[in-house]
Amino acid sequence: MITLGEYIIEKQHQFPDATGELTQLLGAIRLAAKVVNREINKAGLVDIIGATGVENVQGEVQQKLDLYANEKFKAALEARGEVCGVASEEEDEFVSFDSARSIDSKYVVLMDPLDGSSNIDVNVSVGTIFSIYKRISPCGAPAVLEDFLQPGHRQVAAGYVVYGSSTMLVYTTGHGVHGFTCDPSLGVFYLSHENMTIPDDGVIYSINEGNYLKFPTGVKKYLKYCQEIEPETNRPYTSRYIGSLVSDFHRNLLKGGIYIYPSTASAPKGKLRLLYECNPMAFLIEQAGGKASDGFTRIMDIEPEELHQRVPFFCGSKHMVETVEEMMREYSSEEQ
């Protein structure tokens, strides 16, 4: 079996200008993921679950494991010296690393260190999401805001770790999507899913239907379409919603389906973060043959304006996303 480290080294030739730095960077993410995975598996046995009582910049109450994961990923990335800075969903501002080696490095990382952390209390799968860019500021100086405010199509790599019945790390560097499963007896990630692809069509739709009354008309029409009886198109579709983006995305990637987190009356710009969640997942889904949109525009073409920018998110099987986009365009005038 091929390990994650061996596989990354084997593919180094795809990045002749990286000189091993990207390999080291992905190695740091792998290390931090193993540390976080260990603590998640101890949740309930040690005092690491529950809320801290502190709100993050989005006004959400942080979980203890949110902060733990954030610190472990930052520490691992800084220690390798291959990153000049990180931006995290758990930090108000980006963090610039100031060691001599770090300021000479060419990469920045954006991350959601523990997506769906509130689900840990009830033993539901959670995950980590990461996105890697080349800095646009000169090497030899601290990272600047512009290094992080780049559109998704400039990503060098992206991926996620799902901490579930098995722990998997899935990533892309623009050459397909590859998944590695952790052998818990050894703590080693082995290649288990090479060149993952998503079917053009699926029978699963993932959305929090409890917010139905607040959805745009186009989304309401699409949900009715999903529920109509039409044997030729395998409808009605099956509703599956975990409430953890990584888990919902991972299932749909393997089986085919669509994940929808639209704007609502109470969140007109959407809820998911463009830089920490939507861009990396969009990169992955496109590399797997799917599509990601805000309902009208390709996610990876959106020009970021702020670190914690939110957008509506439609992601999954290509034909399913195209169908909901058609309905969004058709009924958008009703929202005017």
Residues 6 or more apart whose CB falls under 8 angstroms from that of 214 comprise: 264, 265, 266
pLDDT of residue 65: 87
Is residue 281 within 8 Å of residue 272, measured between CB atoms?
Answer: no
Is 112 assigned to a binding site?
yes
- For the stretch 55-71, pLDDT in tens is 656 666 677 888 999 99
Task: Tell me the average pLDDT across 143-154.
Answer: 98
Is 89 assigned to a binding site?
yes
- For the stretch 149-205, pLDDT in tens is 999 999 999 999 999 889 999 999 999 999 999 998 998 999 999 999 999 999 999
Residues 6 or more apart whose CB falls under 8 angstroms from that of 168 comprise: 161, 162, 179, 180, 181, 182, 192, 193, 250
pLDDT of residue 41: 81
Residue 87's Cβ-side half-sphere holds a number of Cα atoms within 13 Å equal to: 28
pLDDT > 60? residue 49: no
Is residue 127 within 8 Å of residue 115, measured between CB atoms?
Answer: yes
Percent of the chain with pLDDT over 70: 92
Is 125 assigned to a binding site?
no
- The DSSP-derived string for 184-208 is TTTTEEEEEE-S----SS-SEEE--
Start-to-end CA distance of the chain, whole Å, equals 56
pLDDT > 70? residue 336: no
pLDDT > 50? residue 301: yes
- For the stretch 282-292, pLDDT in tens is 999 999 999 99
Burial zone of 44 (CB within 10 Å; 0-12 exposed, 13-18 middle, 19+ buried): exposed
pLDDT of residue 45: 46
Is 117 assigned to a binding site?
yes
* DSSP letter, residue 106: -
Which pTM was predicted?
0.93
Distance CA 97, CA 141 (A): 10
Is 118 assigned to a binding site?
yes
DSSP alpha helix (H) spans, the chain:
4-10, 21-40, 64-80, 100-103, 217-227, 245-255, 279-287, 318-331
Interior CA angle at 12 toward 11 and 15, to 5°? 115
Is 208 assigned to a binding site?
yes
Is 114 assigned to a binding site?
yes
* Lookup: tokens for 221: 């029409």
Is 116 assigned to a binding site?
yes
Distance CA 131, CA 283 (A): 9
Q: Which residue has the tokens 């959106």?
A: 302
Domains of the chain, earliest start first: 4-193 (3.30.540.10), 204-335 (3.40.190.80)
Average pLDDT score over the chain:
91
- For the stretch 200-259, pLDDT in tens is 999 999 999 999 999 999 999 999 999 999 998 899 999 999 999 999 999 999 999 999
